[in-house]
A and B are shown apart, each in its own frame.
Chain A
């Protein structure tokens, strides 16, 4: 994870840093004169060429019927550090809910540190650490698993997923970037759908009778998790 962070650290500022302008930018070009019309030949009038010079993704030429969107009309803009602010607030709610649930104060301090690291460096392993620590805290509060659907658990289901998604996006954009809110529409919609499915699962679990599960069901569950792991590896290797 540190590799990814390091890449961004030197990447966005270093490789995509602000270019130099002016007379020092292109020394070789400064010694070469061009005619006033800019076309390379004297006497030709300056005109903007509107034909694309490279083929599009499918090998053909660009589609001229593509919708034209002005940057000013591309939706409400907020600075990208707003994502970090929201993440900080969500982390605060998560830690607060665990504290109210009865997590030990020392563990709460660990959670706070993990949350701070997540907000400061969302591309690091801190987000994974925060999620793991949250589950560990819930286990510490309720070692027997007698009340798995209490409020702190329900809040954690929502917040851990949201922090995971937001840190994934925040890791990609520089702090000073302009975030157009319509860009978050699709991630938000998918998040809500997944949460709805999860809470349907919660509802299903709530009505299930407590007690020992049959052995075939246990084996099927373990095989299912193993299958998901194998499937994810296959999907990852697919190009």
Chain B
């Protein structure tokens, strides 16, 4: 006897059972064609009225029932049986908000289907969107994404329902597959120019004070042992009397250097201009994929970090990121376009895990030696200011960027609204003055251009002056 016969039979039984299970699950999820009440109504009224008209010799009843009966019989004869397909075409997991983000849905409704109701994104709103009733057929439907905001969110979920003739049979409703996307934060680059670097390496776009191999002339000095012959400036040497009395002279050049910048993002709080909604959970959070119609501190912080990172990386500098509220999301400094992509994606993660830690964490080992630290925060508590001052005392160049939306608006639903606003303003003023007093210049993020102009002053050694003027 064939020993494999039982396996074959067994697998066949298993397959049948699996098919039955699959069919049962499909029935539960609505993935099959079934008659609706319209069909039952049409049959009941059609047969009933025509039959009653014939039996009772009532022509009016017969004529009213006739179209119902004909319509229902036509619908029954052309009842759809094939399994329709409504599926979203695959989309990129991570997209740039500026590119084409058109979504495509593949529709193959099968014969006999007349209507298809499918949920599509609603422009300006995140989430699965609104149901659209469309003619059935075999085509591809394109639609714009719901929200143009950045962050991670649901972009498409093709919940669908298909109907036969006159809605007499229905397939669904079926909950479609959810497609999620990460939309990277937008880039508003700070205008080019000399941003304040802290020379760290031997390659880069910035001129270092040290001698090196760049093209910028640093000095002309007498030849010394170790100098290369190709550095000899023959014209100066001859003028100095070489080879009779004078010495050889060499041209000394500056070294190229890059800067290391660490963006320290404070994601612990996300607040807007209205103090009344600071604790309102209904307000859409930054990075939730929804458009933030109001100015949010975290949204501004993310955009500022993105812009600064883009500008520094374009100069060839190395930029890293640390989340003061969640240091596990630390991104070591790096350079290049890949680092920018990595950083933008990490910013989305930072926004998603906002509010993780009550206190800011900036361990010294996360800040590379000689790196410039840009602390981006709304500065609503003393802890973040202390972290910035500590970093400055360790010898780093620290710049604080204030992202609290201005002007603040008091909560008019409580009599204490104005008093609270005054208190918040006073506390912040003291805090920012203390920061400036410790040599940490505080800039308010309004736009990339304005901040870029202030940052350029820092390059020319006016750090104390900028710090004083920011008070």
Which of A22, A57, A149 is in CB contact (< 8 Å) with B289? Answer: A22
Q: Which A residues are CB-close (under 8 A) to B349?
A: 30, 33
Complex: A148 Cα to B352 Cα, angstroms: 72
Which of A21, A74, A142 is in CB contact (< 8 Å) with B288? Answer: A21
Quick check: is A135 within 8 A (CB to CB) of the other chain?
A: yes
Q: Is the CB of B338 within 8 A of A23?
A: no
A173 CB to nearest chain B CB (Å): 5
Complex: A236 Cα to B76 Cα, angstroms: 7
Q: Which B residues are CB-close (under 8 A) to A86?
A: none
Quick check: is B9 within 8 A (CB to CB) of the other chain?
A: no
B89 CB to nearest chain A CB (Å): 7
Complex: A212 Cα to B250 Cα, angstroms: 130
Quick check: is B366 within 8 A (CB to CB) of the other chain?
A: no
Complex: A30 Cα to B128 Cα, angstroms: 20
Which of B35, B50, B67, B108 is in CB contact (< 8 Å) with A236? Answer: B35
Q: Is the CB of A173 within 8 A of B117?
A: yes
Which of A49, A69, A157, A173 is in CB contact (< 8 Å) with B90? Answer: A49
Q: Is the CB of A187 within 8 A of B37?
A: no
Quick check: is B24 within 8 A (CB to CB) of the other chain?
A: no
A4 in contact with B37 given A38-B92, A71-B120, A178-B131 (CB within 8 Å):
yes
Q: Which A residues are CB-close (under 8 A) to B68?
A: 131, 160-161, 164
Quick check: is A36 within 8 A (CB to CB) of the other chain?
A: yes
A74 CB to nearest chain B CB (Å): 6
The stretch of B203-211, B233-241, B340-348 in contact with A is B340-348
A89 CB to nearest chain B CB (Å): 20
Which of B126, B175, B180, B341 is in CB contact (< 8 Å) with A37? Answer: B341
Which of B94, B166, B175 is in CB contact (< 8 Å) with A36? Answer: B94
Chain B 290-306 interface residues, beta-carbon cutoff 8 Å to A? 290
- Main secondary structure on chain B at its contact with chain A? mixed
Q: Is the CB of A165 within 8 A of B71?
A: yes
Quick check: is A43 within 8 A (CB to CB) of the other chain?
A: yes
Complex: A171 Cα to B180 Cα, angstroms: 31
Q: Is the CB of A164 within 8 A of B92?
A: no
Which of B47, B55, B87, B342 is in CB contact (< 8 Å) with A228? Answer: B47
Quick check: is A222 within 8 A (CB to CB) of the other chain?
A: yes
Quick check: is A106 within 8 A (CB to CB) of the other chain?
A: no
Quick check: is B193 within 8 A (CB to CB) of the other chain?
A: no
A22 in contact with B43 given A57-B82, A66-B106, A135-B61 (CB within 8 Å):
no
Which of B63, B135, B290 is in CB contact (< 8 Å) with A153? Answer: B63
Quick check: is A216 within 8 A (CB to CB) of the other chain?
A: no
The stretch of B153-161, B372-380, B394-402, B454-462 in contact with A is B153-161
Quick check: is B450 within 8 A (CB to CB) of the other chain?
A: no
* Binary contact track B11-38/A, C-beta < 8 Å → 1, others 0: 0000000000000000000000001111
Q: Is the CB of A190 within 8 A of B140?
A: no
Chain A 173-205 interface residues, beta-carbon cutoff 8 Å to B? 173-174, 176-180, 182-183, 185-187, 190-191, 194-195, 197-198, 201-202, 205
Q: Which A residues are CB-close (under 8 A) to B173?
A: 11-12, 15-16
Quick check: is B360 within 8 A (CB to CB) of the other chain?
A: no
Chain B 54-73 interface residues, beta-carbon cutoff 8 Å to A? 54-55, 57-61, 63-73
Q: Is the CB of A70 within 8 A of B142?
A: yes
Quick check: is B391 within 8 A (CB to CB) of the other chain?
A: no
Complex: A112 Cα to B324 Cα, angstroms: 67
Q: Which B residues are CB-close (under 8 A) to A190?
A: 71, 74, 165-166
Complex: A135 Cα to B36 Cα, angstroms: 23
Closest chain B residue, CB of each to CB of A177: B131
Which of A16, A25, A69, A164 is in CB contact (< 8 Å) with B38? Answer: A164
Q: Is the CB of B76 within 8 A of A149?
A: no
Contact residues on A (Cβ < 8 Å of other chain), bracket: 35 or more
Quick check: is A109 within 8 A (CB to CB) of the other chain?
A: no
Q: Is the CB of A186 within 8 A of B114?
A: yes
Complex: A35 Cα to B180 Cα, angstroms: 16
Complex: A164 Cα to B89 Cα, angstroms: 37
Q: Which B residues are CB-close (under 8 A) to A28?
A: none
Complex: A132 Cα to B48 Cα, angstroms: 10
Complex: A195 Cα to B70 Cα, angstroms: 10
Which of A15, A18, A138, A239 is in CB contact (< 8 Å) with B81? Answer: A239
Q: Is the CB of B76 within 8 A of A235?
A: yes
Q: Is the CB of B141 within 8 A of A145?
A: no
A130 CB to nearest chain B CB (Å): 10
A139 in contact with B127 given A57-B84, A71-B141 (CB within 8 Å):
no
Given contacts A21-B126, A21-B289, A178-B132, 20 further A-B contacts (CB under 8 A): A19-B154, A21-B290, A22-B285, A36-B344, A43-B338, A56-B85, A57-B108, A74-B132, A135-B60, A156-B60, A156-B64, A157-B66, A169-B163, A169-B166, A171-B167, A194-B67, A221-B54, A222-B55, A228-B69, A236-B39
User: Closest 10 CB pairs between A and B?
Assistant: A38-B94, A22-B288, A168-B38, A38-B93, A148-B59, A168-B167, A36-B345, A177-B131, A36-B342, A71-B143
Residues of B at the A interface (CB closer than 8 Å) are 35-47, 49-51, 54-55, 57-61, 63-74, 76-77, 79, 81-85, 87, 89-95, 104, 106, 108, 110, 114-115, 117, 119-120, 126-128, 130-135, 138-144, 151-154, 157, 159, 161, 163, 165-168, 170, 173, 175, 178, 180, 182, 284-285, 287-290, 338, 341-346, 349, 351-354
Q: List 23 A-B contacts (CB under 8 A).
A: A1-B37, A18-B127, A19-B128, A23-B285, A23-B351, A30-B349, A47-B92, A49-B90, A57-B84, A62-B108, A125-B41, A135-B60, A138-B61, A142-B60, A153-B64, A161-B67, A168-B36, A168-B168, A172-B117, A180-B135, A201-B66, A225-B51, A239-B81
